[in-house]
Structure 1
Amino acid sequence: MKNTFEVKDHSISGESFRLEYDEQLHMYFTTPKPSKEKLPSYYASEDYISHTDSKRSLFEKMYQVIKGITLSRKQKLLTAYLPQKGHLLDIGAGTGDFLEYTSQKGWTISGVEPNEKARTLAQQKSIALTEHLPENTTSYDAITMWHVLEHVYDLDDQLHWLKKKLSKEGVLFIAVPNFESFDAIHYKTDWAAYDVPRHLYHFSKKSIQQLFEKHEMHVVKILPMKFDAYYVSLLSEKYKSGRMNYFKAFWSGYKSNQSARRSGAYSSLIYVIKHK
């Protein structure tokens, strides 16, 4: 395990950042960490796909199709742990598709999204999102963070907030990339899921488990996000060679998922978390 290495921001700024390894937590931290004031500028691009519903290119069309498939899977996962449904909070809600879908399935919904453009697109779907985490007395039966925890500015504060806001019998669903996956090892510094400096933290199974244990919560289940291996490999091929190589990306994604069948180290993982 390297103690530190350099990764380039391929998508927006072209700047380079270091990833520094914390041996105790078994995770990497992006350094230097941009200031809170500067960080939003690294999201300021029409190509930042989580903040758009665009279908301009084949890649964007594929992303939107896969997003539609995963919406159903995420909702079924919620219902598997919370069959009575209830009040759902989605943090980092993007353009509101997941909340729109779950609302139609009978959930009471709330959502948080810092990006103004994404909130506007959500509003057009009649999904009202707030810019900041709610500080009212409401507790939530389900809290979801689909590829969001790696973006939060103050990690320890965020975990404390989640502990406080999750109801006693509630369930937290966290999805994050896994730097121990085959595709991460294969693409090295070109691995798209490092996504510096938007990703401030880079997690392993061990780090997620330790971080939540510290806040008296525990991981009850770990599940794969198999589509992510293909999506991340496709972006990684672009960063590595300057073009979308669909064949190589598909093969890499396939090998990553096959490898993970034995190791459990999928490109991205969903952690199902409850209070102790």
Structure 2
Amino acid sequence: METTKELYKNLTPLLNCIDHTVSDESYEVMYNKKYDMLVTSPVPENLENYYVSETYISHTDSKKTLFDKAYQLVKNHTLKQKLKLINSFNSEEKTILDIGAGTGDFLKVCKENNWKISGIEPSEKARNFASKKNIELQEDISNYKGKQFDVISLWHVLEHIPNLIEYTNQLKKLLKPNGVLIIAVPNYKSYDAKKYKEFWAAYDVPRHLWHFSKTAIKKIFATTNMKVVKILPMKFDAFYVSLLSEKYKNNTSKPISAFFTGLTSNMKAKKTGEYSSLIYLIKNN
């Protein structure tokens, strides 16, 4: 069986990206031909320190800046879409495990709609925010060993997982035989990724360790005998990622330019299917 170490073999340098959120350090983004994916190198030993920032937005409920407001606006809209998606599944007991639950907003909506919720969030700060909403989150996936769920969701989380291949094995064990695994990740083959190149905000090095294509997701989950059954777009991501990318590239926010880039990305993706972010629905084979 493949291990995560295999993903670091035979890499070709592609881009040099800067950590714009915490450290200003430079990292290489390298191409793995076998999986058609990109890999961040090197991986810092103290990776958790790269999440300690007031600007790391998924761990807060802040609405201070233009980017905070844009993020919260998009989040509120996508919560409704996410709920509609999981409600469309034929779930037996309506049990859901949300991994990387952040401040608990998605699970709060699920709970209000009669889902039996469980969640994982490594950040203590984010767990405290969630707790104030009466959403109690666990720190690690090992807390759910032996349990199984109708739905497991990872909204922009898989790209953060260091032991990627081994983790997919754990996900398989936690998913009921007829359950659905939801994986949402950025897509480096989108128009906005190609336009902004090393300034593309969704590279988010070193926090994003992996950068996926459709082929990569299919191959990675095939190693654990799981199958992608449907791929859906996340159209709002193109606008938000472009807004951040403009800031990284020009040291100033350019909302009009970002809007048109996001619009162009979505229009091109109608033909290619290569949206800025994609949702994969995955089932056990």
TM over 0.5: yes
1:6 is paired with a residue whose SS is: strand
2:101 is paired with a residue whose SS is: coil
Structure 1 contact 85–106 (Cα < 8 Å) conserved: no
Match of 2:202 in 1: 193
Aligned counterpart for 2:186 among listed residues 153, 158, 177: 177
- Say whether 1:105 aligns with 2:113: yes
Q: Give CA deviations for 1:211-246 in whole Å, capped at 9, x if unaligned.
A: 111110000000000000000000000000001100
- Say whether 1:72 aligns with 2:84: no
- Say whether 1:25 aligns with 2:35: yes
Q: Give CA deviations for 1:79-107 in whole Å, capped at 9, x if unaligned.
A: 11235551100000000000000000010
Structure 2 contact 79–106 (Cα < 8 Å) conserved: yes
Shift of 1:136: 2.7
Match of 1:53 in 2: 61
Q: TM-score if structure 2 supplies the norm length?
A: 0.94
Number of equivalenced pairs: 274
Structure 1, unaligned stretches of length 5 or more?
none
Aligned counterpart for 1:243 among listed residues 252, 265, 271: 252
Q: Give CA deviations for 1:223-273 in whole Å, capped at 9, x if unaligned.
A: 000000000000000000001100000000000000000000000000000
Match of 1:274 in 2: 283
Shift of 1:153: 1.3
Structure 2, unaligned stretches of length 5 or more?
1-11
Match of 1:15 in 2: 25
- Say whether 1:254 aligns with 2:259: no
Q: Distance in 2 between matches of 1:130 and 1:4?
A: 37
Counterpart amino acid of residue 139 in structure 1:
Q
Shift of 1:61: 1.6
- Say whether 1:229 aligns with 2:238: yes
Aligned counterpart for 1:119 among listed residues 96, 103, 127: 127
Aligned counterpart for 1:4 among listed residues 10, 14, 29: 14
Match of 2:160 in 1: 151
1:71 is paired with a residue whose SS is: helix
Q: Distance in 2 between matches of 1:223 and 1:195?
A: 22
Q: TM-score if structure 1 supplies the norm length?
A: 0.97
Q: Give CA deviations for 1:89-129 in whole Å, capped at 9, x if unaligned.
A: 00000000000000000100000000010000000000000
Structure 2 contact 38–210 (Cα < 8 Å) conserved: yes
1:75 is paired with a residue whose SS is: helix
Q: Distance in 1 between matches of 2:15 and 2:276?
A: 20
Shift of 1:5: 2.1
Shift in CA distance, 121/4, structure 1 to aligned 2, threshold 3 Å: same
Within 5 Å, give how 1:132-147 maps onto structure 2.
132-133=140-141, 134-147=143-156
Q: Distance in 2 between matches of 1:5 and 1:255?
A: 23
Q: Give CA deviations for 1:19-69 in whole Å, capped at 9, x if unaligned.
A: 11110000011111112xx11110110111100001112321221121111
Q: Distance in 2 between matches of 1:108 and 1:143?
A: 12
Aligned alpha-carbon RMSD (Å): 1.2
Percent of counterpart pairs with the same letter? 51
Shift of 1:135: 4.1
Aligned counterpart for 1:213 among listed residues 222, 230, 234: 222
